[in-house]
Chains A and B, each alone.
Chain A
Amino acid sequence: MSGKKRAHISEVSREDGKPLVHLEPEDLMPLPAPLNDPAKAPAFKPLSTQIVEKYECLLDDTCAVNVPKPKTKAEEDELVRKFLAGLEKLFQRENNWTFLQPLLLTMEHCAKCQTCSDACHIFEATGRNEIYRPTYRSEIMRRLYFKYVKHGGLVSLWQHGDIKLNWPLIARLIELSYRCNLCRRCAQTCPIGADNGLVAHELRKLFSQEMGIAAKEIHDTGSMLQLKVGSSTGMNPEVVKDNVEFIDEDTSEKTGIKVETPWDVEGADVLLIHNAGEFLAWPENPGAFALILNAAGIKWTLSSEVVAYDSINYGVWYDDAQFARVALRHAEAAKKLKVKKIVLGECGHAHKALSVIADRLLLGDLNIPRESSMTLLRDIVMSGRLKLDPSRNDFPVTLHDPCNLVRLMGVVQPQRDILHKICPRFREMEPHGVDNYCCGGGSGFAIMQGNNFPDWRFNVSGRKKVEQILNAFADCLGPETPKYLCTPCSNCKGQFRDMLMYYNLWEKERILYGGLVELIVNAMTDAKPGFIDWEWH
């Protein structure tokens, strides 16, 4: 079926066992040069026959969650029953006090004006394919809400529209809830204040909390692994300490400044929590943090408590209980060390999770102040405590705004103040700040590697960002000028690592991605030059 055909709402219940849409490269939003030839676009791998036979892949060209096909009609009926039970619970205060009010407001007051659609990078990237419209999944849920939760009769059906509930609908809705980055750009433009991003979030919760269905990278090898061993990377406290020791040595050698990371210092001013992915994938980032904080004379520490050395909190994308469990453990570690504040490293979702959303879960002595590393770093850089030479960063730099930091938390200016001070060739992407576009890896996509899902996130969810990056560097494209995409977020860096590689933008255009602290250390005159080594990693 052509991707250009509009899928009607009722088609979500189709029982022909086929995906609703298929996208061809020419259906997608065109990219600027040098990626402007769809014929030369990297191939989008099809799903394997085994996967299609085993799992429900009824939505589009990919499969994010791998829901096994029910073997019997009775199994199907049981899944439908569970879904309905979960749907009801989403609208009960005992079960969903956490988001009941915004959810109900969105369910009952969307005017279906489609203003939000133009704000959605996924909808735009697919050439405005109907199923990726922010209101498509919301309209399905809205009809289910009025029919099965409000038990509306004929008048309600006439007013709100009908929908046929069956297992194919649920299977498609599971996948559809994982076709949204939860960036909430759509919500920002809604004239009523409805929030279609929230609908995707709440659907994911229903599937996880009632049916035990979630993307395995987020649940099994994500929040569950973190609660089990301490980190979704699989590192236990001993391993992470070993790694940090190695990072300290490496940073000391590279910069000529002795770096030592303090562990479990009781009464420290700052408990710094990194996304533990940094220790493995981008060790220069925690190394740079350690160097900067030591040089600035900050009394800081890391915690080796299980969970507390990894700031990730995947629950924020799909499950309130998992979210609360991780947030509580972060706060407990801070309480145990009697620190004055928790500072979050360069990780967007960790910022929002612990600073903003968990604010209404942390009560009493667990309510320890949380702060963004962006503000602390700005304070250090602007205070003159570090000797900085901007000419060391004399290459084009642009900034990717992680949605969680800007639109969802309002931390916009500190990182810019730093870049303006230390990067003479800094330029903004358009749009930026609170109007930014997601990297395409938000809401867990950056870590979801199953089947051909990465192809989807590079071609679809990350497409708008690729366009923005190329436009930001339009005046200096080509391999002769190294360019730096500053990305103060681990999750976004994961997406850029994979996506820039996919489009060959390091080889062809010399676009390197990295954090903010690396640029600061690169400009420090006390450190040996060349902290940023312009090698792909």
Chain B
Amino acid sequence: MTTVLLYALIYLAVLVFAVGCVIRAVQYARMPIHLRWELYPVPHEEARRVEHGGSYFEEVDWWEKPSHFNLAGEIGVMVPEMLFLKGLWEYNRKLWSRSFPFHFGLYLLIGCTALLVPATLVSLVQPTWMAGSLAAAWLGLCKALGLVGSVLVILGSLGLLSRRLTDEDMKNYTTPGDIFNLLFFIVTCILLLAGYLLSDQQFPGMLAFTQGLLTFSPSVQVPGLLAAGMICAALLAAYIPYTHMSHFIAKYFTYHSVRWDDRVNVRGGELAKKLAEYLTYRPTWSAPHMGADGTKTWADVAMANPAMETKKK
């Protein structure tokens, strides 16, 4: 019964996590297209320009030239940034030495889960497969990723926590919530790691547990320490999308929709249609020069000339 409750909590946490992520992503995606605010270099520019941070504005009559989208350039920036936190490496090496193990540890833990689920599915459909050497290697890899990942997360979190508590530059901006978040990661990973390493022979292993999770089998016995780690991990996963730690979603938008958004507003294009709609909004800013009383549209406000109106008075 306790194991079933644990399964239920895990499913619920995954659901809450997914809903939280979707809500956040949809919220940002549905926002109006803002005025252009890009920052150079923009990596999807032509390769010859990316090197010095140039844009298509460097060409005479740029609007008559074919447009380029250098996907390779964009991927070349995105992958090192996502995997290795290249920006932090470049601009804040001290923090990188703590943040990278933390994030990379999380990736390894995600990788461990991602490998475990298909292995479990295969084992349920074709149990004999599990006797083979490929399966042993597969599960060995899962185990290694899980163990190394947990250790990296613990070390990284401890490093980040000590920096938050001791670095004068960061103390002023650290809230109790920030401390709690890091402690949450540390406690969760310590419980998972200790629970797994100290589990006795009663625990049939992670594969059996995942099989139980997918089949809701109550027969799997999970040791207390490991169960506590799983409960913490489930709660942590459910909590993340509702905090600033959901920056893995935000970062897509800050890069693709702001920093690198150099789309041109072409006459009669899709962008122009959306922008025309925004010009019908009715702002209510109160300063006299705005003339925005809630009845005038954004276009009316933009066409007005407060200086001439003052003159008339």
Q: Do A and B originate from a single complex?
A: yes
Binding site for B on A (CB under 8 A): 6, 8-9, 82, 85-86, 89, 93-95, 97-102, 104-106, 108-115, 117-119, 130, 135, 139, 158-161, 184, 187-195, 198, 208-212, 219, 224-225, 227-228, 320-322, 324-325, 328, 341, 355-365, 367, 369, 371-372, 374-376, 378-379, 406-414, 433-434
When the two chains form the complex, which single residue of A118, A159, A225, A365 contacts B243, counting CB atoms closer than 8 Å?
Answer: A159
Let me know if B58 is at the binding interface, CB within 8 A. Answer: yes
Let me know if B292 is at the binding interface, CB within 8 A. Answer: yes
CB–CB B307/A228 < 8 A: yes
When the two chains form the complex, which single residue of B42, B271, B305 contacts A325, counting CB atoms closer than 8 Å?
Answer: B305
Let me know if B253 is at the binding interface, CB within 8 A. Answer: yes
Minimum C-beta distance from A155 to chain B (A): 8
Complex Cα–Cα for A321 and B289 (A): 9
Among B84-92, B117-125, B128-136, B192-200, the stretch in contact with A: B84-92
Let me know if B259 is at the binding interface, CB within 8 A. Answer: yes
Knowing A111-B247, A407-B53 are in contact, say whether A101-B35 is a contact too (CB < 8 A). Answer: no
Residues facing A in B195-224 (CB within 8 A) are: none
CB–CB B251/A192 < 8 A: yes
Q: B56 — nearest CB in chain A belongs to which residue?
A: A410
Can you list 22 A-B contacts with CB-CB less than 8 angstroms, sorted by A residue number?
Answer: A102-B257, A105-B254, A113-B95, A115-B88, A115-B91, A160-B175, A191-B81, A191-B87, A192-B250, A193-B251, A322-B289, A325-B306, A355-B57, A361-B302, A369-B61, A375-B59, A375-B60, A409-B55, A411-B57, A412-B53, A413-B58, A414-B58
Knowing A109-B254, A210-B287, A413-B54 are in contact, say whether A361-B35 is a contact too (CB < 8 A). Answer: yes
Minimum C-beta distance from B271 to chain A (A): 7
Complex Cα–Cα for A315 and B101 (A): 44
Complex Cα–Cα for A37 and B118 (A): 69
Complex Cα–Cα for A367 and B81 (A): 36
Let me know if B72 is at the binding interface, CB within 8 A. Answer: no
CB–CB A321/B52 < 8 A: no
Complex Cα–Cα for A320 and B311 (A): 22
Complex Cα–Cα for A316 and B282 (A): 21
CB–CB B173/A114 < 8 A: yes
Among B2-10, B15-23, B137-145, B273-281, the stretch in contact with A: B273-281
Knowing A100-B32, A102-B34, A375-B60 are in contact, say whether A114-B170 is a contact too (CB < 8 A). Answer: yes
Cβ contacts under 8 Å, B287 to chain A:
208-212
When the two chains form the complex, which single residue of A97, A211, A212, A406 contacts B34, counting CB atoms closer than 8 Å?
Answer: A97
Interface centre among B49, B170, B173, B259 (most CB of A within 10 A): B173
Knowing A113-B95, A139-B173, A328-B302 are in contact, say whether A105-B250 is a contact too (CB < 8 A). Answer: yes
Minimum C-beta distance from A188 to chain B (A): 5
Minimum C-beta distance from B44 to chain A (A): 12
Residues facing A in B164-180 (CB within 8 A) are: 168-170, 172-178, 180
When the two chains form the complex, which single residue of A85, A158, A410, A411 contacts B45, counting CB atoms closer than 8 Å?
Answer: A410
Minimum C-beta distance from A418 to chain B (A): 12
Complex Cα–Cα for A195 and B254 (A): 9
When the two chains form the complex, which single residue of B31, B49, B304 contacts A93, counting CB atoms closer than 8 Å?
Answer: B31
CB–CB A228/B87 < 8 A: no
Let me know if B288 is at the binding interface, CB within 8 A. Answer: yes
18 more A-B residue pairs beyond the given contacts A109-B254, A113-B95, A360-B271, with a C-beta to C-beta distance below 8 A: A9-B173, A94-B283, A97-B281, A100-B31, A101-B34, A101-B258, A104-B28, A109-B247, A114-B169, A139-B172, A192-B250, A227-B307, A355-B57, A356-B36, A357-B36, A365-B267, A410-B40, A410-B57
Give B288-308 as 1s and 0s: 1 = Cβ < 8 Å from A's Cβ atoms. 111010000010011111111
Question: What 7 A-B pairs come out closest when comparing CB atoms?
Answer: A410-B55, A193-B254, A159-B177, A434-B53, A228-B307, A324-B302, A97-B32
Minimum C-beta distance from A191 to chain B (A): 4
Let me know if B39 is at the binding interface, CB within 8 A. Answer: yes
Residues facing A in B215-250 (CB within 8 A) are: 243-244, 246-247, 250
Let me know if B12 is at the binding interface, CB within 8 A. Answer: no
Let me know if B126 is at the binding interface, CB within 8 A. Answer: no
When the two chains form the complex, which single residue of A119, A160, A321 contacts B292, counting CB atoms closer than 8 Å?
Answer: A321
When the two chains form the complex, which single residue of B92, B172, B243, B266 contacts A115, counting CB atoms closer than 8 Å?
Answer: B92
Give B260-274 as 1s and 0s: 1 = Cβ < 8 Å from A's Cβ atoms. 001011110001100
CB–CB B243/A194 < 8 A: no
